[in-house]
Amino acid sequence: MNLAEILSFLPYGKYALYIWLSYGITFILIVGLFVRASINHKKIRNQLKNKYAREND
């Protein structure tokens, strides 16, 4: 029995593996893009804050 058959109890039967795999990878990539954007946002603001704080000393 291969993986596609093992996962065929999921919705979409014999194609379940392929459909959930492709949707899963897409989901991870999209979430990753948002996470990257918000980490970058915080990092840049902190860096600039520190830079301005140093300049004021």
Partner 1 sequence: MWKWIQKLASPKVFYETTNKLIPWFLWPFIALLILGLYWGLVLAPADYQQGESFRIMYIHVPSAWMSMLVYFIMAMAGGIGLIWQIKMAEVVAKVSAPIGASFTLMALVTGAVWGKPMWGTWWVWDARLTSELILLFLYLAYISLNNAFDNPKTAAKASSILAIVGLVNLPIIHYSVKWWNTLHQGSILEDLTEPSVHPDMLWPLIIMVFAFQFLYGVLALMNARDEVLVREQNSRWVRAVVTGEQS
Binding site for partner 1 (CB under 8 A): 4, 12-16, 18-19, 21-23, 25-26, 29-30, 32-34, 36-38, 40-41, 44-45, 48-49, 51-52
The least distance separating partner 1 from the CB of residue 9, rounded to whole angstroms, comes to: 14
The least distance separating partner 1 from the CB of residue 13, rounded to whole angstroms, comes to: 6
The least distance separating partner 1 from the CB of residue 20, rounded to whole angstroms, comes to: 10
Q: What does 1-57 look like in DSSP terms, one character per residue?
A: --HHHHGGGSTTGGGHHHHHHHHHHHHHHHHHHHHHHHHHHHHHHHHHHHHHHHHH-
